[in-house]
Amino acid sequence: MAWFICICRSVAPVILFAVLQGCATSSLFNAYPNQAVVFKKAIGPAQTDVMADKVLSDLSEERDSADAMLYMMERGRVAQLHSRFADSKQDFQLVISRFDEQDLESTVKLSDSAAQGSSLLVNDNAIPYKGAGYERIFTHHHQAFNYLGEKDLEGASVEFRKVALEQRILLEKHEQEVAEAYDEAAENDIDMSTLSEAFSGLDSVAGSVKSSFQNAYTFYASAAFWEATGELNSALVDYKKAYEINPDNSFIKQDIERVAFKQGGSSGDNVNIAKDNQGTIVVFFEDGFVPAKSEIKLPIPTFDGGFFSLAFPYYDVNQWPVSQSLKVMDDRFNELGRTEIVVDVGALAVKDLKERIPGLIVRQTLRAFAKYEMQKQAEKNGGAAGQLMASLYNIVSESADRRSWLTLPHTAQIMRFNLDEGVRELNFSTPIAQTSLALNVKPKKTTFVRVVNANNNLITQVYEL
């Protein structure tokens, strides 16, 4: 019986810890991607409204949980794609205020230390979700579209300015953070090189983006917004930033030439400028869902020469989905053009994980020591049965932190064209889905048409500027 008491004693504090620092870390024993399946299903055309209601109200209950940021990002996007802008605005507001709080949070936060402490005995899911840089950018991006949906152009302009600020700050900040993680590894005598090799497969995907947060889609949306509202200087700056990340994109090159021309520069051959009786349509196509993290088990060497297996989050880049472009046609099915990719959100996520690896390795190694120590204690006090229990606990509790905003699209694409005024029908199609939209084109006005491919259904939203 002694071994049983011993196990109870060692496991009880762990459970107590987990309970104390927020019962709602529901990803602790149920991998987050499994939970997110439902959220993704809730995005779809009108007939799934009942389901969306259910998902939105379920997610609403997570508002006070430790992972509130994550759940509110998901909820905000689901609500926005159902055109419930006020709801969605509230959700993203919570996320934004949490991000803002983090900026001036103290260096050592005791409640964080408690979470970190309990994560040493359970897994990284015990640490409250704090969001990634690219998710912060997307939060503001979505919030801007909420204001556009409510026809509040000033509100949208504030968000677009804020997102530009965040993109700049993150760029300055991230290099410093990566360097700090390496310093911490050196302090704890952890050899990064052997473990980093396991992640080298990620490079092929991560290499396709400039950094883990420089988001050309957001730059492009702000640029198109500034151009439509007459702030040509800001438009030019943002088009150029989008172009820097996507030098092969034919639309952005044209956009830069057009804005330069509007500012009094020389006229290029084809600057895609609207005639007096034409309106401009900017299509934002968001394809699929960003891939979820999978899990790999890596052996961590223990101090007495053995190995201890721990779970790491990983992106399986060999099974990376291929993104399709959207074909846009007029009412007679004449092709107006195809969208071009400006950002691969999957690649942003991979790059973000890659940048987290140094910190992750440090934490996992400390966890390996802690769990190994617990197992040895159990063996000493409880014999074979104790060791069995401890091993079982380790297997059950050892799961990788697979949390990330999963209703985000896999890729985001853009295109731009001008149409004569009046009601025009537009047809959109991908190889497996199609939809149409009647649009009231107003002369000299810009309309944002957002097309989202979710579960092979095309959802359209119109934002008039």
Choice between 41 and 174, CB closer to other proteins: 174
Of 162-170, 204-212, 245-253, 412-420: span binding other proteins (CB under 8 A): 162-170
Any alpha helices (H) in 229-344, and if so which ranges?
232-245, 250-262
Number of residues in contact with other proteins under rule CB under 8 A = 22
Choice between 103 and 197, CB closer to other proteins: 103
Choice between 35 and 157, CB closer to other proteins: 157
Choice between 69 and 163, CB closer to other proteins: 163
Task: Measure the CA angle with vertex 460, ends 455 and 465; round to 5°.
Answer: 145
Q: How far is the CB of 179 from other proteins (least distance, A)?
A: 11
Q: How far is the CB of 174 from other proteins (least distance, A)?
A: 11
Q: What single-letter amino acid sits at 216?
A: A
Q: How far is the CB of 158 from other proteins (least distance, A)?
A: 5
User: In which order are the strands placed within the sheet that holds 446-454?
Assistant: 340-344, 411-420, 278-287, 446-454, 457-464
Contacts of other proteins in 211-230 (CB under 8 A): none
Of 1-9, 78-86, 158-166, 424-432: span binding other proteins (CB under 8 A): 158-166
Choice between 96 and 298, CB closer to other proteins: 96
Choice between 103 and 189, CB closer to other proteins: 103
Contacts of other proteins in 350-379 (CB under 8 A): none
154 forms part of the interface with other proteins (CB under 8 A): yes
Q: How far is the CB of 28 from other proteins (least distance, A)?
A: 23
Phi, psi of 82 (to 5 degrees): -100, 15
Phi, psi of 229 (to 5 degrees): -95, 10
Q: Is the separation of the CB atoms in 226 and 238 below 8 Å? A: yes
Of 56-64, 152-160, 330-338, 418-426: span binding other proteins (CB under 8 A): 152-160
CA distance 340 to 82: 25
Chain centroid, CA 242 distance in Å: 19
57 forms part of the interface with other proteins (CB under 8 A): no
Burial 383-418 (b: 16+ CB within 10 A, else e): eeebbebbeebbeebbbbbbbbbbbbbbbbbbbbbb
Terminal CA-CA length for the chain: 73
Q: How far is the CB of 63 from other proteins (least distance, A)?
A: 18
The binder of other proteins chosen from 165, 186, 296, 396 (CB under 8 A): 165
Burial 310-338 (b: 16+ CB within 10 A, else e): bbbbbbebeebeebbbbbbbeeeeeebbe
**For residue 166, how many other CB atoms are within 10 A of its CB?**
21
Classify residue 464 as exposed, middle or buried by CB count within 10 Å of its CB (0-12, 13-18, 19+). Answer: middle
Contacts with other proteins, 93-132, as mask; x by CB under 8 A: -------x--xxxxxxxxx---------------------
Q: How far is the CB of 94 from other proteins (least distance, A)?
A: 14
Contacts with other proteins, 166-195, as mask; x by CB under 8 A: ---x--xx--xx------------------
Choice between 158 and 336, CB closer to other proteins: 158
Choice between 148 and 350, CB closer to other proteins: 148
Chain centroid, CA 131 distance in Å: 8
Q: Among 171, 170, 454, 127, which Cα is nearest to 313's? A: 127
CA distance 364 to 372: 12
- Site residues (vs other proteins, CB under 8 A): 100, 103-111, 154-155, 157-158, 161-162, 165, 169, 172-173, 176-177
